[in-house]
Amino acid sequence: MTDQKPLLSVRDIKVYFNLDEGTVKSVDGVSFDAYEGQVLGIVGESGCGKSVTMKSILRIVEPPGKIMEGQVLLSKRDHPDEYLDLTSMNEKGKEIRAVRGGEIALIPQEPMAAFSPVHTIGNQIIEAIMLHCDVNKKEAREICIQSLKSVGMSMPEKRVDSYSWQLSGGLRQRAIIAMAIAGNPRLLIADEPTTAIDVTTQAQILKLLKDLQRERGMSILFITHDLGVIAQMAQYVVVMYLGRVMEKGPVDSIFHDPKHPYTQALLRSIPSAQKTTKIKLPTISGSIPHPFNKPKGCPFHPRCAYAIKGKCNVNLPSEYIVGDQQYVSCFRYEKSEVNIR
Amino acid sequence: MTENKGSSYKENPITLIPDKEVSEEFSSTASEEKVSVASNWKLVWWRYRKNRLAVVSLFLLFFVLTIIIFPDFYANQYSEKTNAREAYIPIQKIHFLRDGKVDMWAEKLVGKRNMKTLAMEWVSDPAQPVDIKFFGKGFQWKFLFWKTERHLIVPVDTSERIFILGSDRMGRDQWSRLMYATKTSLTVGMVSVLISVLLGVLLGGISGYFGGTADMIIQRLIEILNSVPYVPIWMAMTAALPRDWSSEQRFFAITVILSLLGWTTLGREVRGKFLSIREEDYVLAAELIGCSKFRIITSHMVPTFLSHIIATGTLMIPQMIVNETSLSFLGLGLRPPAISYGVMLQEAQNVKTMAQAPWLMIPGLVVVITVLMFNLAGDGLRDAADPYSK
Amino acid sequence: MASYIAKRLLVIPLLLLVFSIVIFFLIQAPPGDFMTTYSAILAGSGSSMDNEQLNLMRVDYGLDKPMHIQYFRWMGKLLHGDMGLSLLYMLPNTKLIGDRIGLTVLLAFFSFILSWLIAIPAGIFSATHKNSIGDYFFTVINYIGVAIPNFFLALLLMWICYDLWGLNLVGLFSPKYEMAPWSWAKIGDLLSHIWLPSLILALGGSARLTRIMRANLLDELGKPYMITGRAKGMSEWALVMKYPVRLAINPLVSTIGNYIPQLFSGSLVVATVMNLQNIGPLLLQALSMQDMYLSGSILLVYCLLAIVGTILSDMLLVWVDPRIRME
């Protein structure tokens, strides 16, 4: 995997929101690579900048949000060695619109609200197909029905003409996935795709995504706050906190050998089915600071048990290599090699 | 520290080690404390204050309120003082400086009869100043038991007349009449809204809280009333008023007539609020501890949307003012000797008169400004009262 | 859907029955009757009628009968399409109203179309260019549009046109066509006159509609389906026009039901000021002369027009919103 060129490379991206009350640094220097055929998980508490990172990849950050720095590179479909710089494209231009849906598709958070209630789902999926494939309306409808069938929807010929509010939560999510894969993208960004649906349906949807990914050789960028889902889905995990990457590494290393105090604390706060000791489930002390009052230095230091005064609250740690493909941003590892890219 | 492998954290359960400076920064600050104890009305005021236009409008409305209470103070002549020789006098220019000193005077208007058209033509003559002053003496007026002769602005020589906004067909002073018109029109507007609000809350409340047959009947009534054009019905109603009624009787009748059709919007909103609030847990809780229905409605339900009612009511006032003005203008609302904006505008009914004496349209301008102020204040209030609704 | 329409249509006669009773009561309420007014006018013009003659006429017109008998007589005739005789014009009311009903509906229709044509683009612009100079411009215009009473706007425009160009903007026809039979030239003449009163009438309504449209659209622009659309690769303009605009218009359609009666109210006032030949000025005249059957008929016609308008708007709402249609 090390020699392979990444499909998508996010490099030191910074997204700031300039509000009247001050600047919110939603994403403050995030880097990671996604490889072909890989499920990359991004995990973090709400408000850590996961969704904004996703939006900055697609260049759909809403004003007043602005990408201040950094690059999002996408390898070309025909020449995998060459890269498109998405950040340099015009936000409303044709180039980026060809990427959205065509190369990188999105499965949004709320399946209910993601569809317009006054247009049929068919209408909305066909629209996506016609934007990226050179087909007429009739052919697009065929593709749409095929697509609905491939996400396991029964009676796709009938369902294509129904409205989103006529479908159950699970079916709606399937329709969303059908729309996302209809443009034949290479990367699927799933933004908390299972938060809004019940647990049994959630398992079905996760299985569907995994199957689709395997069949089509797609990559998936899986954004969630649910560590269990990440463990089940992802091969590589990026842990974010307050707009920064705390730690990233292969899923096994992250779960069995976490290095960053935040990752460690996060994992400890998962209830375990095996442990029967009646001790209180540890929580991470303190709460997430208000975005305007982001602490100086390492964002986690106010809640960190290992914080070193005069260091952690002053400087930002670099990314240190702590294992195979495992990087961590913490001064506890400053004797290790710095990850230079 | 790098040698600390995965097992290490199991031995050191994370405990809270608060960094003193930071934790203080993140604990609720002084301003947050203030918010948490502020009453709803305080919150509404804080939000309202942010809307500058609304604050200015509210300030101006308070000023207008003083006109409603003391129209005689602002007027400087009896409203019905006529003089055929002083008909259609244009707006008199007022100066605040004389020979570089602060001194108020008006340019005297000299009338000359045009021998061809036989119409009077008024020319202002700056050489003949009419001295005027603030808080001078004029005709006597009474407020409750208090008699006074003071007026806002009067000519020093009480035998002179000044026409700040010109005069009408019968030589009546528009400025003074406008003060009385403001009193009448705004009173009609506000009182009819008050009645509408009472009706709306009462009927909407019955409809929403009790439901069933009462709800059905009130809902149909609202539907019927909403599908009718109001102005023709109002016209028929005012035309049905006995002709020998006094101005005061007419005034009250028209106020009531306006509110008879005006309550439906609010009635519907109140019903909706009752329906949704009825399901809230705190209402159930109040029922379970044995509150009476009356107490639940008055002290648990109504307060939650009182600010909303007030905002809606404020926004209804300008509509009522316009309605009264339109009806009176058509001759079916208030009639002379009552003075309202509409009655005054009747003087400007044909184009030729307007061309000859455009100042007769000033009451219309005043209507526009008044309505604007109420709308701005009402919008501000609505946004402040429930910031989460549109 | 069909049963819904049938249900709504069946309500019309019921509503008209209720209105006819209320209206009849209203026009009966003033003391005296047409004969009293009539003799007063005659007296004013120098001639007179003795009581016997007046009473004879009363019997002729059935004005001497008790109220409920008069109502049933009126209703009986109405059901046969006869609205009675105008005592003022000595003409059948059906003809008087029939001559003017077309212009009444036309004026309301034109202003309705105009107000939507102004409001939708203005609302879209304001919402998509929130807090821009153009947005502030429309906001100011809207506030003024709401604040200015119809009749005062008409007065102002009439004054300005007279003062600047010596134009007397009165009526719906040039003098040449006033009495002429209908022809293409007359229709052209009508169209060249009707736009101004329509615009005056439309302004207040469009100001309200623009505000609603702007607020609705701003709401819709923040909805998650916008992210879906952008992520699909739609161009911003196509996206805004297809989804949020469409959704923002739905609640606007539901306001038509209230707007149409308002339009007729407004048209009455404007028509009186500008002396347009619709049923508004006729009603004013009939009411002040106590020509009871004429005023009653006109009031009933106003109610009918408003009800039909409301029902049409309900159907439109059902048609545009699948969520309502499917229920």
User: What is the band of B31 on the pLDDT scale with cuts at 50, 70, 90?
Assistant: very low
Concatenating the DSSP letter of every residue in C40-57 gives HHHHHTT----HHHHHHH
Q: Quick one: which H or E segment has residue B98?
A: strand B94-98
Q: Are strands A187-191 and A104-107 parallel, antiparallel or unpaired?
A: parallel
Longest dimension (CA), chain C: 87
Contact A333, A320 (CB under 8 A): yes
Amino acid at B209: Y
Closest Cβ–Cβ partner in A286, A290, A309 for B16: A286
Contact B382, B315 (CB under 8 A): yes
Contact B73, B152 (CB under 8 A): yes
User: At what angle are helices B230-239 and C292-320 packed, to 10 degrees?
Assistant: 160
Task: Provide mean pLDDT across the span A278-282.
Answer: 70
Nearest chain B CA: its distance from C173 CA (Å): 18
Nearest chain A CA: its distance from C116 CA (Å): 21
DSSP code, position A295: P
Predicted local distance difference test score (pLDDT) of residue C41: 67
Nearest chain C CA: its distance from B87 CA (Å): 20
Asked: is C100-291 a CATH 1.10.3720 domain? The reply is: yes
Location of structure tokens 């505008």: B345
> Which residues, at least 6 apart from C250, have a Cβ–Cβ distance to it below 8 Å?
A118, C317, C320, C321
Among A151-165, A290-304, B43-57, whose mean pLDDT is lowest? A290-304
Higher pLDDT, B361 or B85: B361
Q: Are strands A236-241 and A187-191 parallel, antiparallel or unpaired?
A: unpaired
Closest Cβ–Cβ partner in A100, A114, A163 for C233: A100
Q: What is the pLDDT of residues A164-214, one digit of tens each?
A: 888 888 888 888 888 888 888 889 998 888 777 788 888 888 888 888 888
Q: What is the pLDDT of residues B133-172, one digit of tens each?
A: 778 777 778 877 888 878 888 877 777 777 878 888 887 8
Location of structure tokens 């409750």: B144
What's the distance, Cα to Cα, between the start and end of chain A in Å?
A: 17
Predicted local distance difference test score (pLDDT) of residue B17: 41
Q: What is the pLDDT of residues C115-139, one digit of tens each?
A: 999 999 999 999 988 888 988 898 8
Taken as a whole, chain C contains a residue count of 327
Q: Do C155 and B242 touch (CB under 8 A)?
A: no
Measured between beta carbons, the chain A residues lying within 8 angstroms of C227 are 55, 60, 106, 108, 114
Residue span of the structural domain in which A270 resides: 244-333
How is residue B26 written in tokens? Answer: 């993140």
Does B24 score more than 50 pLDDT? Answer: no
Predicted local distance difference test score (pLDDT) of residue B390: 41
| B155 to B78, B110, B142, C190: CA distances (angstroms) | 14, 17, 20, 53
Is A270 an 8 Å CB contact of chain B? Answer: no
Beta-carbon neighbour count of residue C41 at 10 Å?
Answer: 12
Nearest chain A CA: its distance from B2 CA (Å): 5
Higher pLDDT, B198 or C290: B198
Closest Cβ–Cβ partner in B1, B12, B22 for A295: B22
Residue A236 lies in a domain: no
Predicted local distance difference test score (pLDDT) of residue A278: 66
Does B205 score more than 80 pLDDT? Answer: yes
Ramachandran angles phi, psi of A16, nearest 5°: -115, 145
Closest Cβ–Cβ partner in B6, B17, B18 for A256: B6
Does C24 score more than 90 pLDDT? Answer: no
Does B40 score more than 90 pLDDT? Answer: no
Q: Quick one: which H or E segment has residue B341?
A: helix B341-345
Task: Provide mean pLDDT across the span B178-195.
Answer: 92
Task: Provide mean pLDDT across the span C201-218.
Answer: 89
Residue A209 lies in a domain: no
Q: Quick one: which H or E segment has residue B302?
A: helix B302-329
Is B174 an 8 Å CB contact of chain C? Answer: no
Q: Are strands A8-19 and A22-34 parallel, antiparallel or unpaired?
A: antiparallel
Residue A99 lies in a domain: no
Nearest chain C CA: its distance from B321 CA (Å): 10
Which residues, in sequence order, are bridge partners of residue A43?
A224, A239
Q: Do B236 and C269 touch (CB under 8 A)?
A: no
Residue A289 lies in a domain: yes
Interface of B with C in 112-171 (CB under 8 A): none
Nearest chain A CA: its distance from B386 CA (Å): 22
Which residues, in sequence order, are bridge partners of residue A240?
A245
How is residue C41 written in tokens? Answer: 């006018």
> Which residues, at least 6 apart from C191, have a Cβ–Cβ distance to it below 8 Å?
none
Beta-carbon neighbour count of residue B100 at 10 Å?
Answer: 6
Higher pLDDT, C14 or B158: C14
Chain A: list its partners (3+ Cβ pairs within 8 Å): B, C
Does B12 score more than 50 pLDDT? Answer: no
How is residue A100 written in tokens? Answer: 């959205």
Interface predicted TM-score of the whole assembly (ipTM), two decimals? 0.83
Give residue B151's Cα distance to chain centre. 24
**What span, in angstroms and rounded, lies between the C-alpha atoms of B18 and A303?**
7
Residue A316 lies in a domain: yes
Predicted local distance difference test score (pLDDT) of residue B23: 41
Mutation test of the interface with chain C: which of B223, B231, B389, choosing the one with the most C Cβ atoms within 10 A?
Answer: B231
Q: For residue B17, what is the nearest residue in chain A, using CA coordinates?
A: A305
What's the distance, Cα to Cα, between the start and end of chain C in Å?
A: 9
Predicted local distance difference test score (pLDDT) of residue C69: 81
Q: Do C268 and B230 touch (CB under 8 A)?
A: no
Predicted local distance difference test score (pLDDT) of residue B199: 92
Does B13 score more than 50 pLDDT? Answer: no
Q: For residue C240, what is the nearest residue in chain A, using CA coordinates?
A: A116
Domain borders along chain C are: 100-291
- Alpha helix (H) residue ranges in chain C: 2-28, 34-44, 51-61, 67-79, 93-128, 133-147, 150-165, 175-178, 184-221, 224-232, 236-242, 244-274, 279-288, 292-320, 322-325
**What span, in angstroms and rounded, lies between the C-alpha atoms of B300 and B210?**
16
Mean pLDDT over all residues of chain B?
Answer: 80
Q: Do C247 and A131 touch (CB under 8 A)?
A: no
Residue A170 lies in a domain: no
Q: Per 3-state DSSP, what percentage of chain B is helix, strand, and coil (rounded to 5)?
A: 60, 15, 25
User: What is the band of C44 on the pLDDT scale with cuts at 50, 70, 90?
Assistant: low
Amino acid at B21: E
CA dihedral A334, A338, B2, B3 (to 10 degrees): -150
Q: Do B375 and C31 touch (CB under 8 A)?
A: no
Q: Do A132 and C233 touch (CB under 8 A)?
A: yes
Contact A227, A238 (CB under 8 A): no
Interface of C with B in 186-225 (CB under 8 A): 215-216, 219
Q: For residue A281, what is the nearest residue in chain B, using CA coordinates?
A: B13
Whole-model pTM over 0.90: no
Closest Cβ–Cβ partner in C223, C227, C233 for A131: C233
Exposed, middle or buried by CB within 10 Å (0-12, 13-18, 19+), for C90? exposed
DSSP code, position A245: E
What is the number of domains present in chain A?
1
Does C180 score more than 50 pLDDT? Answer: yes
Q: Do B368 and C156 touch (CB under 8 A)?
A: no
> Which residues, at least 6 apart from A12, have a Cβ–Cβ distance to it below 8 Å?
A29, A30, A31, A69, A70, A71
- Determine the 3-state secondary structure of C190 from DSSP: helix
**What span, in angstroms and rounded, lies between the C-alpha atoms of C145 and B364?**
14
Contact A297, A310 (CB under 8 A): no
Task: Provide mean pLDDT across the span A127-140.
Answer: 87
Contact B347, B362 (CB under 8 A): no
Is A333 an 8 Å CB contact of chain B? Answer: yes
Measured between beta carbons, the chain C residues lying within 8 angstroms of B360 are none
Closest Cβ–Cβ partner in A119, A128, A163 for C232: A128
Residue A128 lies in a domain: no
Location of structure tokens 């005689």: B72
Location of structure tokens 């008699």: B147
**What span, in angstroms and rounded, lies between the C-alpha atoms of C187 and C173?**
9
What's the distance, Cα to Cα, between the start and end of chain B in Å?
A: 56
Does B5 score more than 50 pLDDT? Answer: no
Predicted local distance difference test score (pLDDT) of residue A275: 61
Predicted local distance difference test score (pLDDT) of residue A273: 65
